[in-house]
Amino acid sequence: MVKRIAITGIGVLSSIGNGKDEFLQGLMECKLGARDVSSFDVTDYPVKKGAEILPVDLHEDETYQDEVVQKGIVAAVEAVSESGIRNVYKPREIGVSIATSLGGVGSREKYYLWQKERGIVDYQLLLNVPTACLAGSLSRHFNFRGPNSTVVTACAAGGNALGIGADFIREGRAKAMLVGGVDPFSTISFSGFSVLRSLSPQVTKPFNEHRDGLTLGEASAFLIFEEMDAAIERGATIYAEFLGYGISNDAYHITSPDPNGGGAIRSMNAALREANVRIEDVSYINAHGTGTPYNDKMEIKAIKELIGEKTETIPISSSKSQFGHTLGTAGAIEAIVCTLAIKHQFIPATINFETSIDNSFDFVPNDIREGEIQYALSNSFAFGGNTASILIGKVNGV
C-alpha cells in the first residue's frame, strides 16, 4: 500500500506577509506585494518594481553568512516548530528536500562588488556559497541526518522538491521531510528577465488580454511532510494531504514554452494519475500564471485540453499576481497557497484583473471567494522546458 503524506507544518516569508498567519491574511485580503526595489540600485533599469520579502530578523551566525540561507532558516524554523517533528522522530529519520534556482548567488554578487570597488580580480568568487549546499545548510542547522536533496530545475524546482520529499517517505528512506524552497532577489535574475523584456513595467496581470510581463518576486517557503498514519496517531495538526506530482519537459526551447503545452499537459496528467484523481473532481487550479504573453496563452491551451469544454467549472487563479514570480520557490509557496485555501475554505484570487484572455474560464478576478476545495492542482513551468504539477487534497474527518 502506498504511504499517504500529511502536511503538518508551514513556514513562509514573502512580500505579502511573513509567517503563516500574516501570509494567510495577505492572501485573503488580496494584498499586492510589488513595491520599489530596495535590494540594489535599479536606476539604470527600465523596471523599478519587485516583490521582495518584507523586512525580517534573520538568523545571525557566521556559519550562515549568505542571506538566502538565513531566510531559508527563518521559514523552516516556523514549519519545523509548528509540526513538532523534532520531538517525535530521530534525526536520521528526518530529511530535507529544497528547491532553488540561484541559491547563494547573493553573497557572490556582494563579493564581486566588494572586489570591483578595490580593483581585485579573484576567481575564487565562483566557489563562494555553492548552491548545492543549501539543503546541507538546513540539515546542519536542525541536525537532520536523513536524505538530503537540493533541486535546481529553474522555476519548476519547488514542485520537484516536494515530489522528491514525498518519494523519500513513500520509499521508507525517511519518516518526515522538510520540503520547500528559497531563492534570492538578485541582480542576475532581475537583469536576465529585464534583457528578455519579460518584466512588467507596472504590475503583472496574469490571464489578462493586455498582459505585459511578470513581476520578479522573492520568498522562502517550507512545509513538513510525514506519514499520514503516524501524524494522525500522534494528534498532529494536519493541513492537507500531498497526493501526487508529475514532471515532464517540453524539449522545445531554453526560455520559451512549447506553444502547444505538451510538457504542461503531460505533467498535469501524471500528477492526476499518481494521485488517482479525475480532472472532473479537481476543485481549483493554481496556475503557473506568470503574466507573460507566451506562458499564459500556452497554459490556458493546455488546461483547456485537459478539462475539455467545461472550462468554467474549475476556478483557476494566479497567486503570482500578488507576490510575483518567486523562481525556484514558486512551486513551494504556491503549494502553501493551496494548502491554506483547502484548510480555510476559500478560492484564491487573481488580482490586477481587467480584460480576460479567455471568457470561458473563471480566473477568480480580484477577490477571493468562499468555497470548499477537495482537490487542488498546482502548476510550475520553467526555463529549460521543465514542467511540474502537484496535487494536494483535503483530509476529511481530521
Q: Looking at the annotation, which residues are catalytic?
A: 155, 288, 325
Strand partners, 307: none
Give the cell for residue 217: 518576486
d(CA 252, CA 189): 22
Alpha helix ranges (H) inside the chain:
20-28, 67-83, 105-118, 134-142, 157-170, 187-195, 228-233, 262-275, 293-307, 320-323, 330-344
Q: What one-letter code names the amino acid at 155?
A: C
The total of other beta-carbon atoms located within 10 Å of residue 273's CB is 12
Work out the burial of residue 324: count CB atoms within 10 Å of its CB; fewer than 13 is exposed, 13-18 middle, 19 or more buried: buried
d(CA 224, CA 339): 12
Confirm if 178 and 227 have CB atoms less than 8 A apart. no
d(CA 59, CA 4): 34
CB-based contacts of 108, cutoff 8 Å, min separation 6:
125, 126, 128, 129
Confirm if 223 and 176 have CB atoms less than 8 A apart. no
d(CA 213, CA 219): 19
Pairing of strands 148-151, 346-347: unpaired
Taking the alpha carbons at both ends of the chain, their separation in whole angstroms is 21
DSSP annotation string for 159-200: HHHHHHHHHHHHTTS-SEEEEEEEE---HHHHHHHHHTT-B-
Give the cell for residue 215: 513581476
Which among 70, 69, 54 is positioned nearest to 19, based on CA atoms?
54
Strand partners, 29: none
